[in-house]
């Protein structure tokens, strides 16, 4: 059985460092995995990365109970260990959602991420796994892999007004507003592109 480890908070230098590749899945690595699972269960989060418990190795654990998830496109995710994970986007579609983090208590931020990705990793047995994930699962995996690169979601927030506390997020239903604003921005961009194309065509014909 693993131990509950105190989670490192923003400002800890380890959270800004790129984690080492796991070369061998032995006793030490299995103990790290057990500690990650125990700490995640205790914290009530959706995912955790090894740097968050002070370990500079490329290991993350995710698990989601659908009834406790605040995102509309949540799906049930059993406890899943991802070792040396990496991802690539499938398509260019992106979505904006507020994200939180165990290492950044109370603060939430609007982050744009790819909607669908392909993720490749090793499980705890060393087997290579490849999956396609969409929606919240894809967002969660991107978020946790960022930790392995020394990046927190705070660095991904593009607008200075894209932050909120957890309480304000619920009080003013900011999750819904973030989606609406993103859709409006996309429509506005498409209109500008259409206008530029029309202008170019007119000039060329003239």
Nearest to 70 by CA among 163, 170, 152: 170
Identify whether 144 is a catalytic site residue: yes
Number of domains present in the structure of the chain:
2
Six token digits for residue 60 = 């993350």
For residue 33, tell me if it sits in a domain.
yes
Residue 177 structure tokens = 């507003």
Partnered with residue 121 across adjacent β-strands are: 129
Same domain, 27 and 97: yes
pLDDT by 10-residue block (mean), the chain, 206 residues: 96 97 97 98 96 98 90 91 98 96 96 98 98 97 98 96 90 69 50 50 37
Residues 99, 144, 149, 155: which is the catalytic one? 144
For residue 49, the number of C-alpha atoms closer than 13 Å in the C-beta half-sphere is 29
pTM: 0.84
User: Which pLDDT score, from 0 to 100, does residue 179 have?
Assistant: 57
Per-residue confidence (pLDDT) for residue 72, from 0 to 100: 79
In a domain, 2, yes or no: no
**What is the rounded CA–CA span in Å between residue 19 and residue 143?**
15
Tell me the CATH number at 43. 3.90.45.10
**pLDDT at 184 (0 to 100):** 47
153 and 202, same domain (yes or no) = no
Q: Do 181 and 156 lie in a common domain?
A: no
Question: Looking at the structure, do residues 156 and 73 belong to the same domain, yes or no?
Answer: yes
Q: Give residue 200's pLDDT.
A: 46
Would 108 be classed as within a structural domain?
A: yes
DSSP 19: P
Shared domain check, 181 and 142: no
Residues 97, 186 within the same domain: no
Closest to 3 in 3D by CA, of 35, 37, 48: 35
Same domain, 137 and 204: no
With a CB cutoff of 8 Å and minimum separation 6, the contacts of 121 are 82, 83, 84, 85, 86, 128, 129
Show the domain range for 59.
13-166
Residue 186 lies in a domain: yes
Is residue 73 located within the same domain as residue 128? yes
Q: Answer yes or no: do 142 and 195 share one domain.
A: no
Q: Which two tokens stand for residue 65?
A: 């109970």
* Residue 4 forms part of a structural domain: no
């Amino acid at each position: 059985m693993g131990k509950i480890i105190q989670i490192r908070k923003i400002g800890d230098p380890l959270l800004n460092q790129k984690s080492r590749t796991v070369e061998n899945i032995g006793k030490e690595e299995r103990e790290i995995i057990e500690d990650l699972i125990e700490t995640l269960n205790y914290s009530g989060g959706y995912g955790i990365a090894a740097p968050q418990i002070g370990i500079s190795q490329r290991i993350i654990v995710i698990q989601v109970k659908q009834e406790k998830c605040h995102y509309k496109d949540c799906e049930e995710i059993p406890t899943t260990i991802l070792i040396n994970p990496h991802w690539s986007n499938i398509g260019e579609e992106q979505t904006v959602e507020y994200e939180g983090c165990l290492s950044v208590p109370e603060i939430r931020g609007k982050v744009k991420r790819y909607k669908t990705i392909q993720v490749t990793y090793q499980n705890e047995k060393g087997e290579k796994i490849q999956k396609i994930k969409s929606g919240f699962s894809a967002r969660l995996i991107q978020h946790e892999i960022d930790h392995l690169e020394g990046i927190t979601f705070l660095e991904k927030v593009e607008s200075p007004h894209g932050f909120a506390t957890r309480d304000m997020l619920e009080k003013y239903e900011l999750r819904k507003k973030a989606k609406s604003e993103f859709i409006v921005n996309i429509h506005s961009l498409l209109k500008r592109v259409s206008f530029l194309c029309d202008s170019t065509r007119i000039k060329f014909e003239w």
